[in-house]
């Protein structure tokens, strides 16, 4: 590569940490794990600001970078499970630039389970660091490729979604690097295609991601296949890049023993407690399902779910569903009922000329929203069908469910297998922390909200709002005038 003497290239090929400091305008690690953990929250916040401002490498990133040459020599793979905000994607970008600059005619296939995760996150981050690279003029970044300008066909990194095994096949080079981002969400057949590429010295596979699944390639790397990997855990509590209030708030909301905290903060695999109705791994998979947002003109029916807040700390949540895609439409706190009605009307009008079904949690304050919306329909102000849903009423399948709300939650568990959910911490946590019991008649019963409160968990407003969008899939679209049996 032009710009450096051969001896320098050989040195940096074995020293990625030093390469990043010398050519990516980064500063060395200024604080080690033991020192960081001794700091108070105020000291951590101050240090966090300094590290981000000065573009320092963290000890987690340094240790990961330094093992890469060793992994290449030892013909081992590398796996990183991480909490949120620890600089994992940034580190991947540094690694791509280092590998493509210090070796000839490399190929670096990069993949992730969703287009957003690959192009909007990893590839966007790569563009940012390419612009800061000292020898950036020798390399070209495009929306799908990053390559040596002189040899674009044989010396490149490419972004390919992991929806087809053939996307990961056919790569051959003396220097081959596979980067699998959010590896927990990548299907096993895709990982098998990736594994099949590592047939020679000079090739390396790296798995990175939040450890959301208790099966698959990332899980195996830390368990049954551990001997074939160098492994790292990037704990958010231990990262100088993460502000303490992030993990303290998450711990206060859902408990430090919850799967949400384990995965999104500690970087550990979920426990998957047997009495949890919807596992965190299933919810996370639905967040990462590679389903394109539907275009408004391409469908005829939209179903809206509205969970109306009852108390000061609760929130009104509004979601919409189009086939197997659920969208956030809005969240409201401490607003009167007429304001809530106005927001629902806004969402209805957004889907003008569609058949709009509006499902409202009709218990408590929700009844007022139902009445006003029905009045607006009669007056011709809006066009929609308004369905009150009383969660305490009988289930359609009375032999297996105590009530309507349990039936809908259990339906959600199966629905999300082939659906796409919003990537929202609160929604993910609420869906994956609610438990269930079986009564003396063998029927399932969802954990009552008062029991959630005893576990110091908030009302699952977002989960309920999203689940309300499924009402017609269970109970049909025929209007039921009785509030006593609204489901």
262 domain residue, yes or no: no
Write down the H helix ranges in 357-479.
366-378, 404-415, 425-433, 449-454, 461-468, 471-475
Question: Are 314 and 435 found together in one domain?
Answer: yes
Q: How far apart are CA 474 and CA 395, in angstroms?
A: 10
H or E element in which residue 248 lies: helix 244-254
Question: Are 171 and 296 found together in one domain?
Answer: no
Residue 309, C-beta contacts closer than 8 angstroms, at least 6 positions apart = 315, 316, 332, 333, 334, 335, 365, 461
**Tokens 């690690």 correspond to what residue?**
29
Best CA proximity match to 370, nearest among 483, 485, 487, 475 = 483
Which domain does 21 fall in, by range?
6-245
CA distances to 97, 147, 167, 176, 223 from 117, rounded to whole Å, are 19, 21, 16, 22, 26
Question: Are 326 and 217 found together in one domain?
Answer: no
336 domain residue, yes or no: yes
Question: Are 226 and 297 found together in one domain?
Answer: no
271 domain residue, yes or no: no
Q: How many domains does the chain have?
A: 2
Read off the CATH number of the domain in which 96 is found: 3.40.50.300
Report, as an integer, the average pLDDT of 372-387: 95
**Tokens 């957004």 correspond to what residue?**
350
Of 220, 245, 270, the domain-final residue: 245
Question: Are 227 and 309 found together in one domain?
Answer: no
pLDDT digits (tens, 9 = 90+) for 322-369: 999 999 999 998 888 999 999 999 999 999 878 999 999 988 788 999
Q: How far apart are CA 105 and CA 453, in angstroms?
A: 59
CA angle 87, 88, 90 (to 5 degrees): 65
In this predicted structure, the answer to whether residue 82 has a pLDDT above a threshold of 80 is yes
pLDDT digits (tens, 9 = 90+) for 144-165: 999 999 999 999 999 988 766 6
Question: Are 349 and 444 found together in one domain?
Answer: yes
Question: Are 181 and 67 found together in one domain?
Answer: yes
Question: Are 349 and 226 found together in one domain?
Answer: no
Q: How far apart are CA 36 and CA 376, in angstroms?
A: 58
By the 10 Å C-beta count (0-12 exposed, 13-18 middle, 19+ buried), 384 is classed as: buried
By the 10 Å C-beta count (0-12 exposed, 13-18 middle, 19+ buried), 178 is classed as: buried
256 domain residue, yes or no: no
Question: Is residue 125 very low, low, confident or very high in pLDDT (cuts 50, 70, 90)?
Answer: very high
Query: How much is the mean pLDDT over the chain?
Result: 89
91 domain residue, yes or no: yes
3-state secondary structure of 177: strand
Question: Is residue 293 very low, low, confident or very high in pLDDT (cuts 50, 70, 90)?
Answer: confident
259 domain residue, yes or no: no
31 domain residue, yes or no: yes
Q: 42: which 2 tokens?
A: 């105020």
pLDDT digits (tens, 9 = 90+) for 407-445: 999 999 999 999 999 999 899 989 998 999 988 788 899
Report, as an integer, the average pLDDT of 201-209: 89
Tell me, what's the pLDDT at 417? 94
Question: Are 229 and 343 found together in one domain?
Answer: no
Tell me, what's the pLDDT at 273? 67
Write down the H helix ranges in 75-157.
88-102, 115, 124-132
Question: Are 290 and 376 found together in one domain?
Answer: yes
Report, as an integer, the average pLDDT of 43-71: 95
Tell me, what's the pLDDT at 478? 65
Read off the CATH number of the domain in which 462 is found: 3.30.420.240
CA distances to 233, 268, 278, 451, 462 from 240, rounded to whole Å, are 14, 18, 33, 36, 31
Q: What distance, in Å, lies between the first and last C-alpha atoms of the chain?
A: 67
In this predicted structure, the answer to whether residue 479 has a pLDDT above a threshold of 70 is no
Of 188, 223, 245, the domain-final residue: 245
Buried b (16+ CB within 10 A) or exposed e, 17-33: bebbbebbebeebebee
Q: Determine what percent of the chain falls in helix, strand and coil, rounding each to the nearest 5.
A: 45, 20, 40
Q: How far apart are CA 295 and CA 310, in angstroms?
A: 34
475 domain residue, yes or no: yes
Q: How far apart are CA 113 and CA 212, in angstroms?
A: 13
Of 198, 224, 245, the domain-final residue: 245
Question: Are 397 and 321 found together in one domain?
Answer: yes
Question: Are 214 and 305 found together in one domain?
Answer: no
């Amino acid at each position: 590569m032009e710009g450096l003497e051969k001896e320098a290239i050989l040195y940096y090929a074995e020293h990625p940490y030093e390469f990043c400091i010398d050519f990516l305008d980064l500063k060395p690690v200024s604080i080690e794990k033991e020192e960081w953990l001794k700091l108070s929250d105020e000291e951590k916040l101050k240090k966090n600001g300094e590290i981000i401002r000065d573009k320092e490498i963290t000890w987690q990133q340094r240790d990961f970078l330094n093992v890469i040459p060793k992994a290449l020599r030892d013909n081992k793979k590398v796996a990183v499970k991480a909490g949120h905000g620890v600089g994992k994607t940034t580190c991947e970008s540094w690694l791509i630039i280092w590998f493509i600059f210090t070796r000839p005619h490399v190929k670096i296939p990069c993949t992730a389970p969703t287009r957003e995760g690959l192009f909007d996150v990893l590839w966007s981050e790569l563009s940012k660091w390419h612009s800061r690279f000292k020898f950036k003029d020798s390399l070209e970044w495009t929306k799908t490729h990053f390559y040596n300008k002189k040899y674009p066909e044989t010396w490149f990194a490419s972004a390919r979604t992991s929806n087809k095994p053939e996307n990961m096949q056919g790569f051959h080079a003396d220097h081959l690097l596979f980067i699998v981002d959010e590896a927990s969400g990548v299907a096993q057949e895709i990982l098998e295609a990736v594994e099949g590429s590592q047939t020679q010295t000079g090739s390396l596979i790296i798995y990175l991601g939040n450890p959301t699944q208790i099966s698959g390639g990332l899980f195996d790397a830390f368990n049954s296949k551990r001997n074939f990997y160098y492994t790292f855990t990037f704990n958010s509590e231990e990262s100088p890049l993460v502000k303490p209030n992030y993990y303290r708030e998450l711990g206060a909301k859902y408990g430090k023993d919850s799967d949400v905290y384990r995965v999104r903060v500690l970087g550990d695999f979920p426990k998957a407690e047997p009495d949890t109705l919807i596992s965190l791994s299933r919810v996370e998979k639905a967040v990462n399902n590679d389903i394109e947002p539907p275009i408004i003109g391409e469908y005829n029916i939209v179903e809206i779910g509205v969970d109306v807040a009852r108390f000061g700390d609760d929130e009104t949540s509004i979601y919409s569903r189009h086939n197997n895609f659920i969208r956030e439409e809005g969240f409201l706190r401490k607003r009167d009922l007429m304001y809530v009605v106005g927001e629902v009307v806004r969402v209805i009008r957004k889907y003008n000329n569609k058949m709009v079904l509006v499902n409202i949690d009709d218990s408590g304050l929700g009844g007022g929203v139902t009445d006003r919306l029905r009045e607006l329909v009669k007056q011709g102000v809006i066009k929609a069908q308004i369905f009150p849903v009383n969660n305490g009423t009988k289930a359609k399948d009375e032999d297996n469910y105590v009530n309507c709300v349990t039936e809908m939650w259990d339906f959600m568990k199966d629905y999300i297998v082939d659906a796409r959910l919003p990537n929202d911490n609160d929604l993910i946590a609420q869906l994956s922390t609610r438990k269930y019991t079986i009564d003396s008649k063998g029927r399932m019963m969802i954990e009552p909200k008062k029991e959630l409160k005893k576990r110091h968990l908030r009302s699952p407003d977002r989960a309920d709002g999203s689940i309300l969008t499924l009402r017609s899939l269970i109970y049909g679209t025929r209007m039921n005038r009785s509030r006593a049996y609204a489901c």
